[in-house]
């Protein structure tokens, strides 16, 4: 008689499986303290295999208030399949460092995010997340680290590629507003001519100077907490008021990556299916955004370049502006080939 062997557990939808809390006292045991001095360059992060199930898509929709038909009803241009939102896997890649470092000891600040969108992720797909710390440096008394990472489909195709910059440990309330909207690309002002044409979608008559109709969001404490891994028992300035106040913040703040997801939603609405395969978005987070503080996302077309085979490369400035005081919380640069 042959003895049966236990099968390996099925991949969970998140970086960690919170069900382990029933039998494990310290879910982050054995991981490093997230301080600049503990960095290794280069340092491998992951790989982790997760499943993009119905719950993961629904949960992201709740956190972003993004309930598009392709995500829930199917009928997408990609074989009619249900797919995930464009930035669905973005925070998984940002958080890959917590496979090596204690997540609940991190009081960091995400300063820059960049994603290349190569293909949509499909409902039920197994995705492999892998990354690496590639650079570390100090500036203005803060220790920065640069991560490059990728989400790969079960058929080996690239879904998204990520490059992000993070201050590993800091006091967020003391550095808020120190960011700049200027980079080697161009300065983003968040302003558009009063007579500019406002558009919902990039049609054939798209022109330089067209402005994307603003997408308004008001991220609640519940949405921000769920987005920031409260379901995995991770504690941080986005889901724990005590930690936020220790970081010199009056209340919870919205993750930069959560704002990034809204900007990606704005651009997916404008460019449709092409955004999932030919989109690129880089954002810098320059001011904090508190929960319940309404914020609007918009952009302006800055360039349209004709490409071989009749396609056009559209470039834009994008931004997020909080309504309480009119200040920009994030600025960015985007492109899409249509």
> Residue ranges of the domains in the chain?
18-337
Distance from C-alpha of 194 to C-alpha of 325, rounded to nearest angstrom: 20
Distance from C-alpha of 327 to C-alpha of 316, rounded to nearest angstrom: 20
Question: Tell me, what's the pLDDT at 115?
Answer: 98
* 54 secondary structure, DSSP code: H
Distance from C-alpha of 315 to C-alpha of 239, rounded to nearest angstrom: 35
Rounded to 5°, angle at Cα 9 from 8 and 13: 140
Question: Tell me, what's the pLDDT at 196?
Answer: 94
Task: Please give the chain's pLDDT, 338 residues, in tens.
Answer: 445 445 657 899 999 999 999 999 999 999 999 888 999 999 999 999 999 999 999 999 999 999 999 999 999 999 999 999 999 999 999 999 999 999 888 877 899 999 999 999 999 999 999 999 999 999 888 899 999 999 999 999 999 999 999 998 777 776 666 555 445 568 999 998 889 999 999 999 999 999 999 999 999 999 999 999 999 999 999 999 999 999 899 999 999 999 999 999 999 999 999 999 999 999 999 999 999 999 999 999 999 999 888 899 999 999 999 999 999 999 999 999 99
* CA distances to 22, 26, 32, 104 from 135, in Å: 37, 30, 18, 23
Question: Tell me, what's the pLDDT at 109?
Answer: 85
Question: Tell me, what's the pLDDT at 183?
Answer: 53
Question: Tell me, what's the pLDDT at 107?
Answer: 75
* CA distances to 160, 190, 267, 280, 287 from 182, in Å: 25, 12, 21, 18, 14
Q: How far is CA 303 from the centre of its chain?
A: 25
Domain 18-337, CATH 3.30.360.10 — does that match? no
Question: Tell me, what's the pLDDT at 181?
Answer: 47
Structure pTM? 0.93
Rounded to 5°, angle at Cα 59 from 160 and 327: 75
Q: Which two tokens stand for residue 54?
A: 């119905």
Burial label, 196 (beta-carbon count in 10 A; 0-12, 13-18, 19+): middle
């Amino acid at each position: 008689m042959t003895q049966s062997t236990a099968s390996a557990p099925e991949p969970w939808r998140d970086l960690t499986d919170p069900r382990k809390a029933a039998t494990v006292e310290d879910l982050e045991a054995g991981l490093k303290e997230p301080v600049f001095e503990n960095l290794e360059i280069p340092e491998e992060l992951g790989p982790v295999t997760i499943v993009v199930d119905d719950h993961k898509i629904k949960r992201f929709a709740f956190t972003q208030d993004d309930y598009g038909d392709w995500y829930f009803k199917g009928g997408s241009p990609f074989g009619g399949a249900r797919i995930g939102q464009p930035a669905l896997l973005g925070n998984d890649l940002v958080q890959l460092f917590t496979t090596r470092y204690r997540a609940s000891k991190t009081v960091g600040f995400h300063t820059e995010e960049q994603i290349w969108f190569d293909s949509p992720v499909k409902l039920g797909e197994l995705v492999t997340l892998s990354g690496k710390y590639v650079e570390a440096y100090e500036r203005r008394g803060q220790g920065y680290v640069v991560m490059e990472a990728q989400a790969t489909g079960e058929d080996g195709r690239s879904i998204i590629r990520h490059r992000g910059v993070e201050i590993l440990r800091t006091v967020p309330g003391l550095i808020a507003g120190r960011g700049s909207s200027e980079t080697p690309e161009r300065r983003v002002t968040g302003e558009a001519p009063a007579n500019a044409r406002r558009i919902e979608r990039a049609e054939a008559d798209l022109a330089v100077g067209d402005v994307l109709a603003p997408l308004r969001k008001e991220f609640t404490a519940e949405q921000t907490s769920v987005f920031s891994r409260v379901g995995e028992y991770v504690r941080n300035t986005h889901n724990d008021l005590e930690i936020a106040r220790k970081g010199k913040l009056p209340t919870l703040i919205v993750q930069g990556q959560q704002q990034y997801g809204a900007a990606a939603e704005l651009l997916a609405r404008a460019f449709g299916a092409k955004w999932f395969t030919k989109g690129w978005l880089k954002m810098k987070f320059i001011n904090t955004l508190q929960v319940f503080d309404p914020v609007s996302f918009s952009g302006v077309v800055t360039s349209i370049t004709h490409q071989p085979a009749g396609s056009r490369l559209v470039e834009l400035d994008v931004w997020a502006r909080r309504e309480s005081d009119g200040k920009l919380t994030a600025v960015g640069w985007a492109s899409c080939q249509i």
